[in-house]
């Protein structure tokens, strides 16, 4: 019981990571190619929400996304979708959401389902929903769904994902 109380107090009084207090060691790890460090930095800068950190968010999420990190792929998709520090690119957003969905990311699946319900058009007015879908109520990534990633995809989204995998194998 005392250990639980101490743990809770540490959580309350431990400063949260933010763009203002990123540790040099974390930057060093990310720069050396550490996937987890890149994903954490991408999340920190993404959640910061300040315009001056858009470039760092894009950079670190892009680094981790290209290495296959699902949450970073979903964040990168949202960056493309919303045009955070870059020109909006709905097709690139959809490509990254599909990649994250194949890895089981719930928010990416929901974004693809919204895309399919909207007759295949990506509506930039739904950007806040795309951002929120990638996070849980506390603003953290929801993680992979139970079962296989394809289990919760709509039939149309599953078909698109399978077509993309087939097309990707031909490249």
In a domain, 13, yes or no: no
In the three-class reduction of DSSP (H, G, I as helix; E, B as strand; rest coil), residue 105 is classed as strand
In a domain, 30, yes or no: yes
What residue ranges of the chain have pLDDT lower than 70?
A: 5-17, 119-171
Sign of torsion, CA 5 6 9 15?
negative
Burial (CB < 10 A; 0-12, 13-18, 19+), residue 42, is buried
Q: How many domains does the chain have?
A: 1
pLDDT of residue 122: 45
pLDDT of residue 136: 39
pLDDT of residue 152: 39
In a domain, 6, yes or no: no
pLDDT of residue 6: 67
In a domain, 11, yes or no: no
pLDDT of residue 140: 41
pLDDT of residue 169: 43
pLDDT of residue 11: 56
pLDDT of residue 61: 97
In a domain, 38, yes or no: yes
pLDDT of residue 138: 38
Domain hosting 51: range is 23-170
In a domain, 17, yes or no: no
In a domain, 4, yes or no: no
In a domain, 16, yes or no: no
pLDDT of residue 9: 61
């Amino acid at each position: 019981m005392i250990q639980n109380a101490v743990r809770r107090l540490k959580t309350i009084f431990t400063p949260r990571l933010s763009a203002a207090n990123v540790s040099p060691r974390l930057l060093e790890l990310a720069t050396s190619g550490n996937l987890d460090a890149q994903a954490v930095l991408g999340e920190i800068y993404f959640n910061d929400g300040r315009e001056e950190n858009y470039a760092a968010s894009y950079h670190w999420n892009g680094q981790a996304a290209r290495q296959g990190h699902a949450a970073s792929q979903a964040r990168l998709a949202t960056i493309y979708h919303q045009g955070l520090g870059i020109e909006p690119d709905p097709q690139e957003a959809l490509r990254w959401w599909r990649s994250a969905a194949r890895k089981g990311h719930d928010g990416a699946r929901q974004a693809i389902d919204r895309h399919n319900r909207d007759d295949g058009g990506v509506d930039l007015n739904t950007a806040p929903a795309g951002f929120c879908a990638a996070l849980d109520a506390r603003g953290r990534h929801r993680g992979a769904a139970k079962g296989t990633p394809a289990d919760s995809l709509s039939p149309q989204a599953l078909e698109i994902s399978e077509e993309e995998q087939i097309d990707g194998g031909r490249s």
